């Protein structure tokens, strides 16, 4: 009989979803006798809740990011919402109970705190011995992750582990395996072939520009800055994710410019990271972990307050990233880095030191060894 692993996330195409998928793929590749089952936790609550929360979150971080900054891991907000969270978990419990009884999983992973809270409540009421593993996808853990019912925490770094311990989590429960990313990032790809496939030159620097799956941040302004500065040749690869409107605008803006390539949502981001000399991005946990796995120096723009701000601080402290305030400063920094490559090489070495390309495989190996 196959062992089963339920892997909870929220929101399709989010970082939590990609982390969950990475765990599922790693379990599949590690042992064919394991059946990973991906579960969108929003499907087991009010059908409108997930859509509403996602829309509100995106609206806030785009238009009023200071609101999210004030809400994120705010102790007062945490206490004031305690009863509401308990009511939501109580409302969701019958569906969660039926799901778990249907599959009888050997283990449950949660890549986001909301389902972790639901499963913790389920354990408290019905099945205390089922292993619950919280998989953190950012470097600074918030209070909504903390439950006595969590069996283990998989965390990105020693700094994350120390923060969890400060919040009262036993160090015996914590494993520093990194943020789970696709096992494809653990492979060295044929750079020459990729350059040829994308019709790119190895004679000029390649810069990868991203804004997460939603294409957030100053991507359009950055592209315009590169177009306006024609003194040096940089090959700019722009990924807009699922942001179709941004994709369409950029196609018009960059029309006829052979040094700028516009991509929408792509499944082979590891190929672009393999050939890039540097990445410009927000500081989301998944994207930056993928970049570190590819030993890619990071320039951070427009980090979301809260989790991404704290990720940015960690990456800067470790020397793998530089943060810039706008596209003009960005362009100056890029010129400096490519004019004197010593700092760029140092950032690359620090990225290599921090990178954990085998993170998902470590999680799979740990499961087969028994939690």
Convert the pLDDT of each residue in 258-268 to its tens digit: 999 999 998 89
Q: What residues does 206 pair with on adjacent strands? A: 235
Mean pLDDT (whole number) for 129-137 = 96
Mapped onto helix, strand or coil, the DSSP state of residue 186 is: helix
Question: Which range among 75-79, 92-96, 147-151, 158-162 shows the weakest confidence by mean pLDDT?
Answer: 75-79
Output 349 or 15, whichever has higher pLDDT: 349
- Give per-residue pLDDT as tens, 151-180: 999 999 999 999 999 999 999 999 999 999
User: Is the per-residue pLDDT at 68 higher than 80?
Assistant: no
Q: Specify the CATH number for the domain of residue 161.
A: 3.40.50.2000
Q: What residues does 154 pair with on adjacent strands? A: 135, 175
d(Cα 152, Cα 143) in Å, to the nearest integer? 15
Residue 320 belongs to what domain range? Answer: 187-354
Q: Residues 192, 338: one domain?
A: yes
Neighbours of 138 (CB within 10 A): 23
User: Is the per-residue pLDDT at 69 higher than 80?
Assistant: no
Listed in sequence order, the residues at least 6 apart from 42 whose beta carbon sits closer than 8 Å to its beta carbon are 10, 11, 49, 50, 51, 53
Q: Residues 197, 162: one domain?
A: no
Mean pLDDT (whole number) for 234-239 = 96
Confidence of residue 57 (pLDDT cuts 50, 70, 90): low
Q: Residues 204, 268: one domain?
A: yes
Q: Residues 68, 87: one domain?
A: yes
**pTM for the model:** 0.91
> Would you list the DSSP string of 51-66?
HHHHHHHHHHHHH-HH
Q: Residues 94, 122: one domain?
A: yes
Q: Residues 214, 271: one domain?
A: yes
The one-character DSSP state at 341 is H
Instruction: Identify the pLDDT of residue 45.
Output: 78
Confidence of residue 50 (pLDDT cuts 50, 70, 90): low
Output 148 or 14, whichever has higher pLDDT: 148
Q: Residues 364, 347: one domain?
A: no
Q: Residues 193, 67: one domain?
A: no
Helix axes 359-369, 15-30, angle to 10 degrees: 50
Q: Residues 364, 267: one domain?
A: no
Q: Residues 149, 288: one domain?
A: no
d(Cα 285, Cα 282) in Å, to the nearest integer? 9
Q: Residues 276, 226: one domain?
A: yes
Listed in sequence order, the residues at least 6 apart from 254 whose beta carbon sits closer than 8 Å to its beta carbon are 223, 227, 238, 260, 262
Instruction: Identify the pLDDT of residue 346.
Output: 96
Instruction: Identify the pLDDT of residue 14.
Output: 83
- Closest by alpha carbon to 140, among 336, 305, 319? 305
User: Is the per-residue pLDDT at 73 higher than 70?
Assistant: no
Instruction: Identify the pLDDT of residue 60.
Output: 66
Task: Name the strand (E) or helix (H) holding 263.
Answer: strand 260-263
With a pLDDT cut of 70, the percent of the chain lying above it is 93
Is the sign of the CA dihedral 109, 355, 279, 333 positive or negative? positive
Mean pLDDT (whole number) for 30-53 = 82
Confidence of residue 4 (pLDDT cuts 50, 70, 90): very high
Q: Residues 219, 169: one domain?
A: no
- Give per-residue pLDDT as tens, 279-318: 999 999 999 999 999 999 999 998 888 889 999 999 999 9
d(Cα 337, Cα 276) in Å, to the nearest integer? 14
Q: How many domains does the chain have?
A: 2
What rounded mean pLDDT belongs to the chain?
90
Instruction: Identify the pLDDT of residue 343.
Output: 93
Instruction: Identify the pLDDT of residue 85.
Output: 80
């Amino acid at each position: 009989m196959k062992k089963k692993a339920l892997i909870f996330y929220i929101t399709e195409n989010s970082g939590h979803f990609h982390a969950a998928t990475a765990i599922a793929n790693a379990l599949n590749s590690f042992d064919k006798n394991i059946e990973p089952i991906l579960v969108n936790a929003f499907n087991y609550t009010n059908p409108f809740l997930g859509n509403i929360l996602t829309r509100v979150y995106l609206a806030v971080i785009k238009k009023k990011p200071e609101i999210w900054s004030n809400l994120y891991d705010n102790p007062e907000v945490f206490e004031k919402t305690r009863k509401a969270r308990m009511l939501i978990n109580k409302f969701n419990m019958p569906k969660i109970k039926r799901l778990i009884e249907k599959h009888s999983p050997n283990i449950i992973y949660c890549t986001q705190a909301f389902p972790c809270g639901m499963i913790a409540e389920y354990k408290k009421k019905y099945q205390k011995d089922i292993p619950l593993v919280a998989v953190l996808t950012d470097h600074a853990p918030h209070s909504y992750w903390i439950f006595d019912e969590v069996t283990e925490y998989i965390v990105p770094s020693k700094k994350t582990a120390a923060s969890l311990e400060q919040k009262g989590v036993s160090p015996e429960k914590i494993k520093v395996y990194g943020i789970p990313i696709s096992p494809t990032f653990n492979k060295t790809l044929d750079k020459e072939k990729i350059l040829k496939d994308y019709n790119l030159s190895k004679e000029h620097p390649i810069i990868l520009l991203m804004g997460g799956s939603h294409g957030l941040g100053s991507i359009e302004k950055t592209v315009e800055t590169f177009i306006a500065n024609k003194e040096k040749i940089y090959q700019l690869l722009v990924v807009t994710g699922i942001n179709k409107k941004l994709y369409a605008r950029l196609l018009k803006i960059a029309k006829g410019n052979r040094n700028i390539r516009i991509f929408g949502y792509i499944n082979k981001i590891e190929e672009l990271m393999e050939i890039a000399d540097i990445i410009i991005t927000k500081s989301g946990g998944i994207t930056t972990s993928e970049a570190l796995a590819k030993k890619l120096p990071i320039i951070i723009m427009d980090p979301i307050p809260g989790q991404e701000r704290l990720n940015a601080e960690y990456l800067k402290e470790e020397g793998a990233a530089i943060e810039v305030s706008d596209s003009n400063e960005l362009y100056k920094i890029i010129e400096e880095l490519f004019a004197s490559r010593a700092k760029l090489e140092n950032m690359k070495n620090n990225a290599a030191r921090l990178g954990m390309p085998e993170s998902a495989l470590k999680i799979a190996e740990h499961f087969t060894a028994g939690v």
